[in-house]
Amino acid sequence: GQNIDQPTEMTATEGAIVQINCTYQTSGFNGLFWYQQHAGEAPTFLSYNVLDGLEEKGRFSSFLSRSKGYSYLLLKELQMKDSASYLCAVEFSGGYNKLIFGAGTRLAVHP
């Protein structure tokens, strides 16, 4: 079966660093996405990992370990606007880009 787990909620302080973990059990894994979703809005793309290792993109970084079925999203220098839900999604190999989403992690950034 397919299972994607991520914490339901996290809190952090403005200016700090937070790591949001995602574990998955799937077959036919192709890659892993992270999306950001502000309340009432559509998800927006943050990162895509295919190979093991860390991908850095400004204040956001994403890590993948295919052998461990594990990924994390690292947010540095947190800002109030980073308060949002962060969705982990696994892409399956096949004729189309099928994504299975986790339930999302709701991050609250406090002053």
Partner 1 sequence: SQTIHQWPATLVQPVGSPLSLECTVEGTSNPNLYWYRQAAGRGLQLLFYSVGIGQISSEVPQNLSASRPQDRQFILSSKKLLLSDSGFYLCALDNQETQYFGPGTRLLVL
Q: Which residues bind partner 1 (CB under 8 A)?
A: 33, 40-45, 48, 87, 89, 95-104
- Report the alpha-carbon distance of residue 78 to residue 16 in Å, rounded: 5
**Distance from CA of residue 30 to its chain's centroid?**
15
Q: Which two tokens stand for residue 35?
A: 């999306």
Least distance from partner 1 to the Cβ atom of residue 111, Å? 25
Closer to partner 1 by Cβ: residue 42 or 67: 42
Least distance from partner 1 to the Cβ atom of residue 64, Å? 15
Closer to partner 1 by Cβ: residue 13 or 25: 25
Under 8 Å CB-to-CB from 36, ≥6 apart: which residues? Answer: 43, 44, 46, 84, 85, 86, 87
DSSP annotation of 77: S
Closer to partner 1 by Cβ: residue 71 or 77: 71
Least distance from partner 1 to the Cβ atom of residue 16, Å? 25
